[in-house]
Amino acid sequence: MVLMSGSEYRESLKRRKPLKVHFLGELLKNPFDHPIIQASVNSVALTYELAEDPQHQPLMTATSVLTGNTINRFCHLHQSTEDLQAKVKMLRLLGQRCGTCFQRCVGMDALNAVFLTTYEIDQKHKSDYHQRFTDYMKLVEEGDWVIDGAMTDPKGDRGKRPSQQADPDVFVRIVKRQKDGVVIRGAKAHQTGAINSHEHLIMPTLAMRNEEKEYTICCAVPVDAEGITYFYGRQSSDLRRLDHTREGDIDCGNPRYGGQECLVVFDDVFVPHERIFMDGESDFCGRLVSTFAGYHRQSYGGCKVGVGDVLIGAAATIAEYNGVGTASHIREKIAEMVHLNETLYACGIACSAQGTQTLAGNYLIDLLLANVCKQNVTRFPYEIARLLQDIAGGLFVTMPSAKELKNPDTRRILEKYLVGAEGVNPLNRIKMMRLIENLTLGRAAVGYLTESMHGAGSPQAQRIMIKRLANIEEKQQYAKSLAQIEE
């Protein structure tokens, strides 16, 4: 198997050993039967379904540099700046189609970062990590796996290093060495699509020091490995999915698709040697962290733009439904939404077009421009969402429950008083208002707003990288030369 279908992906989740998933105060017996989790599976399945669609196959698939097979682009090692740009375009397409997080880009970014870093480690330390990882990549491609790129540790006291924590387990670490591998303990937080994945690709969360070698571990473990427990994250308005009626679906805003985040706890999980890709090489932690972060910050110039397209469409539609679609101030606000959204896309494309080939052979984006891209993403989606809320009016947060539509008497009253522009079905107006609530306050807002702020590193992380990569000294020389200053 090289390309899975959407249905085959769903079946692959069921073939795994039972997962230990806690949600809403209970240990779930059948997690994938839960309506909240089903919506997140639908989002990942879309990455397979579009790869089956002849219209989208050129964007959704690529040719493996390792085997020559046609593979899903999410399993691909970027081979050109065109590949990097195609990635951004693919993520925008998926954001447009599901209106939320489709959970697969973090794994793609981790695969590319680990590939180039293992090569560089081997060059210096004469290790064999890169061959191990190349062999692993072939399995990823052949299985068309979803990879959970697991970098963020809980961190504990942010003012202290991993080795200084009162509880050493707040950073993933090696607790035991065996002849055939190692045993790890700790946790990874905010893990996008964790239980919808096939493998966790674990990476250090920051640049480690020499005395922190037990924390300097990069490895892969199956999602169903013994010793892993999942705590499924709550999202705003998530309980609305527990109402299975059609009217209840209206209150969801986006009935089919949803995101997923988990706290993943590794309680003495065994990792065989062939799945270890860094073990104590603290001098390369910074390289791995910065390249993964750079790739993932590039991703936000695609996925958040795609969801932004949905917000813009919702703004134009609700303006028409409200009867103000031609008002000049509405058109100006929508134009500003487009300007902000396309600026994010331009950054994603720019850092891709300026990418360069690494020593390992795959391509890396321009790290400075990728950080600029993500810095803009921490701001612009909030303004786009504010403008959408402004255009929508207050009804999107004060509407009665869709359950009132089940009663013919109350439905008649609601349709009478929630009417908008002449000729518009009031039910369509209600549905659009609920989508707007979902996008800016509800479940999708986690993936569009909060993730825009904190995903791939919080704003200060990008500012640190921007200052580090900006080459201010060179810019000073430009200014001094023009001012004819000699020092």
Catalytic residue among 9, 300, 321, 448: 300
Give residue 201's identity as a one-letter amino acid code.
Answer: L
Catalytically annotated residue among 120, 199, 212, 451: 451
- Tokens 């050993």, residue located: 17
- Among 75, 218, 219, 303, the active-site one is 303
* Separation of CA 483 from chain center: 46
Active-site choice (212, 261, 281, 437): 261
Run of H or E including 44: helix 35-52
Question: Radius of gyration of the chain from Cα atoms?
Answer: 24
Alpha carbon distance 441, 444 (integer Å): 8
- Choosing from 130, 198, 200, 296, the catalytic residue is 296
- Which tokens go with 255? 């009935």
**What distances in angstroms separate CA 206 from CA 18, 47, 282, 292, 412, one per listed residue?**
32, 30, 10, 11, 58
Q: Is residue 125 flagged as an active site residue? A: no
- Phi and psi at 186, nearest 5°, equal 140, -155
Rounded Cα distance between 284 and 226, Å, is 29
Q: 27-64 burial by CB neighbour count: b if 16+ within 10 A, else e?
A: ebeebbebbbbebbbbbbbbbbbbbbeeebeebbbbeb
Buried b / exposed e along 390-416 (16+ C-beta atoms within 10 A)? ebbbebbeebeebeebeeeeebeebee
Q: Catalytic site residue 101?
A: yes
**Integer Cα distance of 141 and 413 in angstroms:** 56
Residues 75, 98, 101, 285: which is the catalytic one?
101
272 contacts: CB under 8 Å, gap ≥ 6: 180, 181
Distance from C-alpha of 205 to C-alpha of 38, rounded to nearest angstrom? 30
Q: Of the residues 76, 78, 98, 105, which is catalytic? A: 105
Question: In terms of Cα–Cα distance, which of 339, 346, 334 is closest to 380?
Answer: 339
296 classed as catalytic: yes
Q: How far is CA 260 from CA 39, 195, 265, 425, in A?
A: 9, 8, 16, 33
Helix (H) or strand (E) holding 62: strand 61-63
Which one of the listed residues 61, 81, 192, 378 is annotated catalytic?
192
- Catalytic, 303? Answer yes
Q: Is 451 a catalytic residue?
A: yes
Catalytic positions are 101, 105, 192, 261, 296, 300, 303, 451
